Amino acid sequence: MRNARIIGTGSYLPERVVTNQDLEQHVETSDQWIRERTGICERRVIGEDEVCGDLGRIAAQRALEAAGVSGDEIDLIIVATCTPDRIFPSTASSLQRALGVRPGAAAFDIAAACSGFIYALGIAERFVRFGDAQRALVVGAEAMTRILNWDDRGTCVLFGDGGGAVVLEASEEPGVLSTHLHCDGRYEPLLYVPWGPGRGYAALGAESGYIHMRGNEVFKVAVNTLTRIVEETLDAAGVDKGEVDWLVPHQANIRIIQATAKKLDLPMERVVVTVGEHGNTSAASIPIALDTAVRDGRIQRGETLLLEAFGGGFTWGSALVRY
């Protein structure tokens, strides 16, 4: 049985920065209120001439460079996004062409909201482990601000744009130790976007293309769910929580992150936190945070990482990784 090991990481953030002070000029909110409830200070916003695929492409290029491999050595591309460039072809298909990945390699998108990267990592790991791919490119990319109502103070303060990526390679060394993927569609009314192409263009209301969220209820379910998945992940792998070197969580809310760290008995110094500078970048948040900590030297080879996420659906998932 082969292992799937992360051999390269990359990320990209758009240039435009929107601070809490900027939002104070537009909606009834304050820097203090946003910081205290979310931990967010600023977020990045995609440029008018950029699309989601651009964010993923640059992140992927950086991951390939870090891995020391070229596009034509990739056998599989999976892009996790809920803000794709178009209905079809997939954003992954566009990346295949842009990155010079060999014709015939599998390429597809998945939509699992903020849990998307974990879902994509779990799928790619199985492709590699069972011999269907030697190397896989896993990308999380989002243009979340394109589906934000900037007049809704309950959502516009939370989200940002960005892309992150990892390259997986078959290896005899330990890599992705386990992944755990879940969904419960009963919670759909708490976090959703009403419009979709399958519904047609009939008027659903002026705000049908925007994120709708009942924040307090989402928060409560997220904290309880992530607590359970920490236990599930460690038990399945036979790993004690004291063996986890780093928590790399989905960057949605600092209070959710702190609650998960407490469950692991991990000091916040062992948690990768980028939510303050990036906001919630949905499927891109974990690979961005991972790349940030790898490049600044915090995460070292041989360390054990716990990645976890919770998002609309509700979806949730985790991965235990030996980096």
Residue range 112-125, pLDDT digits in tens: 999 999 999 999 99
Distance CA 321, CA 323 (A): 6
Q: Is 52 a catalytic residue?
A: no
- Kindly state the average pLDDT of the residues 33-59: 97
Q: How far apart are CA 306 and CA 245, in angstroms?
A: 8
For the cut 60, the answer to whether the pLDDT of residue 20 exceeds it is yes
Q: Please report, for the chain, the start and end positions of each structural domain, with discontinuous segments joined by +.
A: 3-173, 177-322
Sequence-distant (6+) residues with CB within 8 A of 78 are 92, 107, 108, 109, 110, 120, 123, 124, 136, 137, 138, 139
Tens of pLDDT, residue by residue over 67-81, are: 999 999 999 999 999
Question: Residues 6 or more apart from 197 whose CB is under 8 A from it?
Answer: 87
pLDDT value at residue 201: 61
Average pLDDT rounded to a whole number, residues 38-60: 98
> Do 3-173 and 177-322 agree at the fold level?
yes
Q: From the candidates 3, 20, 52, 114, which is the catalytic residue?
A: 114
What average pLDDT does the segment 228-233 reach? Answer: 93
Query: In 112-244, where do the E strands start and end?
Result: 135-143, 161-171, 176-183, 191-192, 212-213
Domain 177-322 in CATH 3.30.470.20? The answer is no
pLDDT by residue (tens digit) across 140-182? 999 999 999 999 999 999 999 999 999 999 999 999 999 999 9
Let me know if 280 is a catalytic residue.
Answer: yes
Active-site residue among 3, 250, 253, 278? 250
Average of per-residue pLDDT values in the chain: 96
User: What pLDDT, on the 0 to 100 scale, is given for residue 202?
Assistant: 59
CA dihedral over 78, 138, 270, 174, signed as positive or negative? positive
Whether 20 is a known active-site residue: answer: no
3-173: CATH topology is: Peroxisomal Thiolase; Chain A, domain 1 (3.40.47)
- The answer to whether residue 200 scores a pLDDT higher than 80 is no
Evaluate if residue 298 carries a pLDDT over 90.
yes
**Alpha-carbon span 116 to 110, nearest angstrom:** 7
pLDDT of 203 strictly over 60: no
pLDDT at 197: 85
